[in-house]
Structure 1
Amino acid sequence: MKVPFKFVSNLTEDKINRLKEITKNSEKPRVRQRSHAILLSYEGFSIDQIAEILGTGRDAVSRWLDAWDDSGFEGLNDKPRPGGPCKLTADEKQLVIDLAKETPRSIPTIQAQLFEQTGKRVSDSTLKRLLKTAGQRWKRIRRSVKSKRDQQEFEEATLEIEELKEQHKNGEIELWYFDESGFDLQPSVPYAWQPIGSTIEVPSENSPRLNVLGFLTPDNKFESFCFQGTINSDVVIACFDEFYNLNSDKKKIVILDNAPIHTSDNFWENIEKWENKGLILKFLPKYSPELNLIESLWRFIKYFWLPFEAFSSFEKLVENVEIILRNIGKQFKIAFI
């Protein structure tokens, strides 16, 4: 039977900080996930929402919340499991990890190399369990532009943004992240649990494109502008003009990337006007998309929050995207930790 309302409450500031530290730095993936779930529940997310965000089942989330109520931080850990001792020594387990670094895409290759060097055979499930325990997880490999960026500039920008986030938290400024994204009937294809022998199919076809220009704060305050058509500097300028007219007595800092439409002569001609209104722009170093928090928002919308039925027609897609945009910070929220 589903429990309609179950939330973690009465967390002290010390507990919140400790949970955040565990979510960031624990060597155990399941402990990080459970700690994140406790924080999301404390922020008001339902069990179903937490399950969707973390990509797990609602029953598992419910058990995590119960374990927290019963045992606190101890409840984040796995219970001891029965079974015989592992057949691999500590050195051999480290060898598995080293082999996985050399051939991260092939369990059979790791098994063969392990047998060649130790004479021991282990199952797929044993190898996967060892790698998960070592903090590894099976996920998509991403294209990266990190090798192109100036690492010193990146580190300096990271420190500056952390200081701005602290000022935002203290109410001294408003910190916003800006970016554009587009939605059409060619969906981003997520992973999903599917019955063996069958495949979930998502419609895909050419369609118009819904463009969204968004401003997001670290605490999920959100402003957006939606339209169909090409995004150019004139469109972005119009959105910034509208944005700086929003009522606020605080200085606004807007973080954005160096896309050509953000660095055109036309755009730069307006920067002084915005600064005189208390709207300050901070450009990220090149090739540093991970410093722009709103990138995570677009990913959550496309991979987690948009239902499959949204892709049945362009009208349905627009309807679902607009519902999500109107409810960011309410029904749809990301814990930026």
Structure 2
Amino acid sequence: MRRTTKPQQDPVAYANGVERWKILLTLWVCGLIDLYFADETGVTLQPYIPYGWQKKHHPLQITARTKSKRLNLFGLMRLDNHLSIYHSEQSLTGAFIVRSLDDFVAKGHTRPVVIVLDNGPIHRCQVVYDQQAKWEESDVFLFFLPTYSPHLNPIETLWRFVKYRWLHKRDYNSWGRLKKAVFDIIRQFGVEYQINFKALAAKNVLQPNSA
């Protein structure tokens, strides 16, 4: 027998959330809305390199750092590799999310926008709720995923690619070099750095009479 945590996800709420998520994805594929997946991550001088090649008897070493600055990122990503990033070296707060989304909304959009978020505290806090009506006046809406559903937020894949594929050992030599590498990846995302989400979209788009 295996010990497991007590189930905390309402299966009915989850199924309903997934169905709505698929509807949003279908609307985006049909060109009726712009759909962004949003989330935060952070990078430090502690490398995220899980493995690497080394010559026999010449082990590679990475310096362990007990303290490091942290570059926090809040990203909004479409599945066609369009990306907006907001960053801070301070801890992210609900107020930071509001300022970021205010700027994002102010850029103007040609179609209604839906921003997919998880249920993190800085997404569900009062300062964010207080601004929702204002954003909706600009046709920008928030959609909260079912609880415990990180697999429904593809921007998590972007964070993994940044940390485990695109950053290199040499990028962790200094704080300045790490920041430059991260910002270079951000600027070149969709050009030099790409993720193919076509299979995800094709698998989950609703077909006629399937909704």
Question: TM-score category by the smaller chain?
Answer: 0.7 to 0.9
Post-superposition offset of 1:199: 3.1
2:95 alignment partner, SS class: helix
Distance 1:332 1:263 in 2: 31
Post-superposition offset of 1:151: 2.8
Distance 2:151 2:5 in 1: 11
Q: Is the 8 A contact 1:176 1:255 kept in 2?
A: yes
Tell me which of 125, 135, 141 is aligned to 1:274: 135
Residue equivalent to 1:207: 68
Q: 1:330 to 1:166 in 2, by over 3 A?
A: same
Residue equivalent to 1:74: none
Q: Is the 8 A contact 2:37 2:115 kept in 1?
A: yes
Post-superposition offset of 1:166: 1.9
Identity of aligned residues (%): 31
Aligned residues: 195
Q: 1:152 to 1:179 in 2, by over 3 A?
A: same
Matched, 1:329 2:190: yes
Distance 2:59 2:184 in 1: 28
TM-score using structure 1 length: 0.55
Matched, 1:149 2:9: yes
Q: Is the 8 A contact 1:165 1:218 kept in 2?
A: no
- Higher RCO, 1 vs 2 (CA within 8 Å, ≥6 residues apart): 2
Q: Within 5 A, what are the aligned runs for 1:58-69?
A: none
Q: Which has the higher strand share?
A: 2
Q: 1:264 to 1:204 in 2, by over 3 A?
A: same
Post-superposition offset of 1:202: 2.5
Q: Is the 8 A contact 1:185 1:314 kept in 2?
A: yes
Post-superposition offset of 1:146: 9.5
Deviations 1:282-315 (A, max 9, x none): 0011111111111110011000000111100111
Tell me which of 230, 233, 237 is aligned to 2:98: 237
Distance 1:248 1:204 in 2: 44
Q: Is the 8 A contact 2:18 2:146 kept in 1?
A: no
Q: 1:267 to 1:305 in 2, by over 3 A?
A: same
Residue equivalent to 2:161: 300
Post-superposition offset of 1:155: 2.7
Q: Which has the higher helix share?
A: 1
Residue equivalent to 2:124: 263
> Which residue identity does 1:230 align to in structure 2?
S
Q: 1:226 to 1:146 in 2, by over 3 A?
A: farther
TM-score using structure 2 length: 0.86
Q: Which has the larger radius of gyration?
A: 1
Residue equivalent to 1:178: 38
1:270 alignment partner, SS class: helix
Post-superposition offset of 1:220: 0.9
Q: Within 5 A, what are the aligned runs for 1:1-337?
A: 147-205=7-65, 206-336=67-197, 337=199
Structure 2 residue runs without a partner (length 5+): 200-211
Post-superposition offset of 1:198: 4.2
Q: Is the 8 A contact 2:49 2:169 kept in 1?
A: no
1:203 alignment partner, SS class: coil
Structure 1 residue runs without a partner (length 5+): 1-101, 103-143
Q: Is the 8 A contact 1:146 1:288 kept in 2?
A: no
**CA RMSD across the alignment:** 1.9
Distance 1:159 1:317 in 2: 40
Q: Is the 8 A contact 1:184 1:209 kept in 2?
A: yes
